[in-house]
A and B are shown apart, each in its own frame.
Chain A
Amino acid sequence: MSSNNFKKRHRAEKRFKAYGLISLVTAAIMLIVIIGSMIYKSIPAFTNYTLDLEVNMVSQSLDTDIEEINYRGIVRDSFFSLFPEVQDRSEKRKLSKLISSSAGYSLRDFIIENPTYGNKKFYFSVLFTDDSDLFYKGYVDVYLPEDERRLDNQEIFWLTKLQSRGRVESKISRNLFLNGDSREPEVAGFYGATIGSLITIFVTLVLSFPIGVITAIYLENFAIKNRITDFIEVNINNLAAVPSIIFGLLGLAVFINFFGMPRSVPLVGGLVLSLMTLPTIIITTRSSLQSVPPSIREAALAMGASEMQVVFQHLLPAALPGIFTGAIIGLARAFGESAPLLLIGMVAFIVDIPASINDPATALPVQIYLWADSPERAFVAKTSAATLILIGLLIVINLVAVILRKRYEVKW
C-alpha cells in the first residue's frame, strides 16, 4: 500500500519535472521556428538575378550633356534587340516590364561616373523586376494555371530564352545593403532605415544617459527622503511599465503639436525613445550604485571627502561597468521599438538616406513594418532579411554589454 503510494508520488514528481522541461523546450522550439523561418524566407533577398546587356552608346553624339541622354530608351532598345521577333507594340511593353525600371538610372549613374564609356558599346548588368527575379529563383510555380501566376506563359518563355543564352547570372544583392526604401522591391534596401535608427539611437543615448545616470545618483546619494523624492520614485517605477505606444501619443501631443517640431525626424524619435528608456537607465544605475560596498564610501568620507567627491571619485567609477551594461540594454530595447515611432510619423516612405537629426527618416523596425505591409511577394524576403539584420544588430549590442560586464565587473 505504502510502496504503491510512493510510486505514485514519484510518478507525479517525474510528471511535474517533465512539464517544466516541456515548457522550456516549447519556448526553445518557438525561438528556433521564428529565427529559422526568418532565415529560410530571407534567402531570396540576398541575391539578385542580373542580365548582362550589351548597351550601345555609339550613336550618342559627344556634345549632348551626359545627364540629358535618354538612358531608359537605350536600355530598352538594347533589351529589345535581344528579341528581334517581338515587333508588336503591346508585346514590347510587356517585354520591357521584365527588367527593372531602375536600369536606366543605374546606367546613368555609371556613365556619369565613367564618362569615357559615353560613346562605346559595352556590357552592362541590369536588374530584373521582382517577378522575373523570383521566377529564376524558382518561386514561380509554372504548373499553376496561367491566370493564377504573376507571369504568363509568354513572359516565362522569354525569361527561359534569356537564360538559355547564358546572359543571366545571380549576384549578391548590393541594393539590399546600400539603398534606401523604394517602391520597386529589387531596388529597395534597408541602409536608409538603419542609418535612421542609428541617428535616433544616438539622440536617445545623448539625452537619456546623462539624465538617467544623474537622476539615479541624486536619488541614491543626495535626495533626502521626503514626499517629493518618494513621488519621483513612484513615478519612475510607473513609467517603466507604461506601454510604449503611450510615449508615442505623448510625443505627438507635446513635441509635434505643442512645440511645433517637425514630423518624421530622428530628433523627435530620439526624444520619445529617451523618455521611454529613462526609467530603465535610472533603475539599473541605482542598483549598480547600491552594489558598491558601503566601506568604500565610508572610507572616503572619513578621509574628509565631500559627498560630491565621494560619488564622482569613488562610487561612480566603481559602478560604471554596471551602469554601461544597463544603458546598453535599455538602448537595445529602444533600438527594436517601433510603436511610438509610428505615431510621430517616422513611418513615411523615405528614399533618401538621412544625414542629420532633422532629416525625415524611418527606423529599421519601422521599415520591417512597412515592408511587411507591402503586397509584392519579393518584399517578404526583404522583410525577413531586415528582421535578421535587426536581430543580428541587437545580438551584437547585447554581446557588447555582456563582454563589458565580464571584463570590467568588480567582484566585491
Chain B
Amino acid sequence: MINTDLLISLSLIIVSGLLSFSLAKGRARLYLVNNEPLRSMPIYHGLYVSLWGMLPSLFLLFLFLLFKSNILSALVIPYISDTTRELGSDEIIYVKNFLINNISNLKTLIDSEFLTIDKAKSLSDKYSFGRIILFSLIFILSVISSIASFKSLSVRFDARRKVENIFQFIFFLFSTMAVLTTMGIIFSLIFETLRFFSQVSFFEFVFGTHWSPQTAIREDQVGSSGSFGAIPLFTGTLLITSVAMLIAAPLGLYSAIFLSQYAKPRTRDLLKPILEILAGIPTVVYGFFAALTVGPFVRSCGEYLGLTVATESALAAGAVMGVMIIPYVSSLSDDVMSAVPVSLRDGSLALGATKAETVSKVIFPAALPGIVSALLLAVSRAIGETMIVVMAAGLAANLTANPLSAVTTVTVQIVTLLVGDQEFDSPKTLAAFALGLMLFVITLILNIFAMIIVRKYRERYE
C-alpha cells in the first residue's frame, strides 16, 4: 500500500514532466516555424522546463520517503491504547508495526482488537487526508516550478547550457555519495561508541584484559555487568593476522617474482588464473574450508606430535586467511615491481648479474616502499576479514600468543554481538560499534600510510 503511494506520486511527477516537456518543445518549434533564429534546439527547451518541473517535487518525494516511517509512527502512536502500553515495549512495537502496515486498510483496522471503530475511522481519515496533502503538494510544486521556468523561455534563451548545468549539478550530487557514505560510517560509529562509553569506561575498554560481554538477564545475577576489556580481542586479531601474513607474504612475493621475471608468456597465462580464482573465491567458502577441513587436520597433526591443539586454533584460521591473501599480495607487488624502471633492471643484467641477483639486489630494494605498502594493505585486509574467523576461530577471548590455542578477533565479536534480535541500548550491542570504530580507525591508518608511501615512491621514479 505504501508502494501505491509511491507509484501515484511518481506518475504524477512524470506526467507533469512529460506535459511540460511537450508544451515547451512545441513552443520552441513555433519559433522555428516562424523562421526566428532559435539558439538551442527545441528538445533542450523541453528538457529545461520538464527538469525544473520534476526536480523540486522529486526532492520533496525523496524527503518524504526518507522520513516515511518516522512520519507514520508519529501518526500512529497516539492511537496505541493504554492497555497496550501497560503490556510493555515489545507489545507497543508490535501494535505500532501492525497499525503502520495496515493503515490503508480500514476493514483490517476495524476488525483488529487494538482499535475501537471510532478510532480506526479517525486514523484512517487522517491517513487519507495526509495522502491527499502529499499528492497535492507534489502536484502543485510541479506545476508552479514548471510555469516559473516556462516564463524564462525565449528565442535567444540558451536552453542547452542551462540543461547541461542542471545535469552537471545532479552529477555533482551523485559524486557526493561516497562522501556521504564515509560520513555515515564515521558518524554512526562515533555516535554509538559515545553511547557505549557513557556506560563503560574508556580505560576499561582499551586497557582491560578481560572480555565477557554477556550481560545477565536478571539484575542480581553474578557478573551481571559484563566486562569489556578489548585487549584479548586485539591480541587475537594480531595473532591470526601474523599467521596469515607469515604465509601470504613469502608465497605472494615469490609468486609475483616468478610470474613477472621468470615465467614465459604461456606459463604466465596458465598460472595467473590460479591466483585470480583464489582471489575470487568468496570468503565464506574459505571459512567453511577452514572450519571443516583445516581445523581438524591441524588438530590431528598436533595430536600426532603430542601437542594439545584446539579445533578452532588460530593457526588453522590464520593459515586459510593467508591463502586467501596470497593473490592480494602478489598482484599488488607485481604492480610495484613492474613499475621499477626497466633501465635499472637492464643495467644490472648487463653487468652480468643473474636474474635472482637482479631481483633481490636491484628490483626489490627499488620497489621496497611499494612492497611495504602492499603488505600494509594486505594486513589491513586480514584485520578486517570476517567470515573466515567467524567460522573457524573461537568465541572465547583468550589472552595468549600460542597459535595452537583458540582466540577470538574483533570482527568475530562484532558479529556475535549483533547477530540475532537485540535491544539497542545495552552495552553489549553498543560494544560492537566501539569495536567497529577501532577497526575502522586501524584499517584507515594502515591504508593512508600505505597510500602515502606509494605516492612518495611513485614520485621518485617519475
Contact of A332 among B66, B280, B286 (CB under 8 A): B280
- Complex alpha-carbon distance, A258 and B69, angstroms: 10
Q: Which residues of B contact A214 (CB under 8 A)?
A: 170-171, 174-175
Q: List 19 A-B contacts (CB under 8 A).
A: A16-B355, A20-B254, A21-B258, A23-B326, A219-B175, A232-B179, A242-B384, A243-B383, A243-B443, A246-B440, A249-B185, A306-B160, A308-B167, A338-B387, A365-B387, A383-B292, A384-B288, A395-B277, A395-B280
* Stretch among A26-34, A57-65, A101-109, A122-130 lining the B interface: A26-34
Contact of B251 among A16, A23, A239, A307 (CB under 8 A): A23
Contact of B411 among A232, A245, A282, A338 (CB under 8 A): A245
Q: A332-B280, A338-B284 are in contact. Are A236 and B178 (CB under 8 A)?
A: yes
- Complex alpha-carbon distance, A250 and B174, angstroms: 19
- Complex alpha-carbon distance, A22 and B255, angstroms: 8
Q: Is the CB of B280 within 8 A of A223?
A: no
Contact of A282 among B178, B288, B415, B418 (CB under 8 A): B178
Interface membership of B390, Cβ < 8 A: yes
Interface membership of B259, Cβ < 8 A: yes
Q: Is the CB of A372 within 8 A of B386?
A: no
- Complex alpha-carbon distance, A259 and B66, angstroms: 7
Q: Which residues of B contact A15 (CB under 8 A)?
A: 356
Contact of A239 among B170, B181, B250, B255 (CB under 8 A): B181
Contact of B69 among A28, A219, A260 (CB under 8 A): A260
Q: Is the CB of A231 within 8 A of B179?
A: yes
* B431 smallest CB distance to A (angstroms): 12
* A280 smallest CB distance to B (angstroms): 12
Interface membership of B257, Cβ < 8 A: yes
Interface of B is mostly: helix
Q: A218-B171, A242-B185, A259-B69 are in contact. Are A237 and B451 (CB under 8 A)?
A: yes
Q: Is the CB of A13 within 8 A of B355?
A: yes
Interface of A is mostly: helix
Q: Is the CB of B188 within 8 A of A254?
A: yes
Q: A30-B323, A242-B440 are in contact. Are A275 and B181 (CB under 8 A)?
A: yes
Q: How large is the interface on A (under 10, 10 to 19, 20 to 34, 35 or more residues)?
A: 35 or more
Q: Is the CB of A27 within 8 A of B278?
A: yes
Cβ < 8 Å to A, chain B residues 163-191: 164, 167-168, 170-172, 174-179, 181-182, 184-185, 188-189, 191
User: In chain A, what residue has the closest Cβ to B429?
Assistant: A252
* B387 smallest CB distance to A (angstroms): 6
Count contacts between A and B, CB distance < 8 Å: 265
* Stretch among A90-98, A144-152, A166-174, A339-347 lining the B interface: A339-347
* Stretch among A45-53, A177-185, A294-302, A386-394 lining the B interface: A386-394
Which of B175, B179, B286, B387 is most buried by chain A, counting CB atoms within 10 A of its CB? B175
Q: Is the CB of A238 within 8 A of B182?
A: yes
Q: Is the CB of A232 within 8 A of B175?
A: yes
Contact of B433 among A249, A336, A391 (CB under 8 A): A249
Interface membership of B385, Cβ < 8 A: yes
Q: Is the CB of B282 within 8 A of A394?
A: yes
- Complex alpha-carbon distance, A387 and B288, angstroms: 9
Q: Is the CB of B411 within 8 A of A243?
A: yes
- Complex alpha-carbon distance, A67 and B355, angstroms: 79
Q: Which residues of A contact B432 (CB under 8 A)?
A: 249
User: In chain B, what residue has the closest Cβ to A312?
Assistant: B167
Interface membership of B192, Cβ < 8 A: yes
Q: Which residues of B contact A342 (CB under 8 A)?
A: 386, 390, 415, 418-419
Cβ < 8 Å to B, chain A residues 39-81: 41
Q: Which residues of A contact B251 (CB under 8 A)?
A: 23, 26-27
Interface membership of B289, Cβ < 8 A: yes
Interface membership of B285, Cβ < 8 A: yes
User: In chain A, what residue has the closest Cβ to B286?
Assistant: A34
- Complex alpha-carbon distance, A22 and B251, angstroms: 8
Q: Which residues of B contact A365 (CB under 8 A)?
A: 282, 284, 387
Q: Is the CB of A260 within 8 A of B418?
A: no
Q: A241-B377, A257-B424 are in contact. Are A337 and B384 (CB under 8 A)?
A: no
Q: Is the CB of B175 within 8 A of A223?
A: yes
Q: Which residues of A contact B385 (CB under 8 A)?
A: 243
- Complex alpha-carbon distance, A254 and B191, angstroms: 11
Q: Is the CB of A390 within 8 A of B383?
A: no
Q: Is the CB of A41 within 8 A of B292?
A: yes
Contact of A24 among B179, B259, B387 (CB under 8 A): B259
* B275 smallest CB distance to A (angstroms): 6
User: In chain B, what residue has the closest Cβ to A356?
Assistant: B3
Q: Is the CB of B391 within 8 A of A211?
A: no
Interface membership of A134, Cβ < 8 A: no
User: In chain A, what residue has the closest Cβ to B67?
Assistant: A259
User: In chain B, what residue has the closest Cβ to A306?
Assistant: B164
- Complex alpha-carbon distance, A30 and B385, angstroms: 19
Q: A232-B175, A343-B419 are in contact. Are A9 and B357 (CB under 8 A)?
A: yes
Which of A38, A335, A372 is most buried by chain B, counting CB atoms within 10 A of its CB? A372
Q: Which residues of A contact B418 (CB under 8 A)?
A: 248-249, 252, 342-343
- Complex alpha-carbon distance, A391 and B278, angstroms: 11
Q: Which residues of B contact A27 (CB under 8 A)?
A: 251, 255, 274-275, 278, 323, 326-327
Interface membership of B235, Cβ < 8 A: no
Contact of B387 among A229, A241, A253, A339 (CB under 8 A): A339
Closest 7 CB pairs of A and B: A243-B384, A20-B258, A336-B282, A260-B69, A253-B188, A16-B356, A339-B386
What 0/1 readout, one digit per residue, does chain A (256-291) give for beta carbons within 8 Å of chain B? 011111000000000000010011001000000000
Q: Is the CB of A250 within 8 A of B171?
A: no
- Complex alpha-carbon distance, A235 and B383, angstroms: 20
Q: Which residues of B contact A203 (CB under 8 A)?
A: none
Q: Is the CB of B323 within 8 A of A278?
A: no
* A340 smallest CB distance to B (angstroms): 9
Contact of A38 among B182, B191, B289 (CB under 8 A): B289
Q: A30-B323, A231-B179, A245-B384 are in contact. Are A218 and B419 (CB under 8 A)?
A: no
Interface membership of B70, Cβ < 8 A: yes
Q: Which residues of B contact A229 (CB under 8 A)?
A: 175
* B63 smallest CB distance to A (angstroms): 12
- Complex alpha-carbon distance, A257 and B189, angstroms: 13
Q: Which residues of A contact B414 (CB under 8 A)?
A: 245, 249, 343
Interface membership of B354, Cβ < 8 A: yes
User: In chain B, what residue has the closest Cβ to A26?
Assistant: B251
Q: Is the CB of A250 within 8 A of B181?
A: yes
Cβ < 8 Å to B, chain A residues 340-382: 342-343, 347, 365-366, 368-369, 372-373, 380
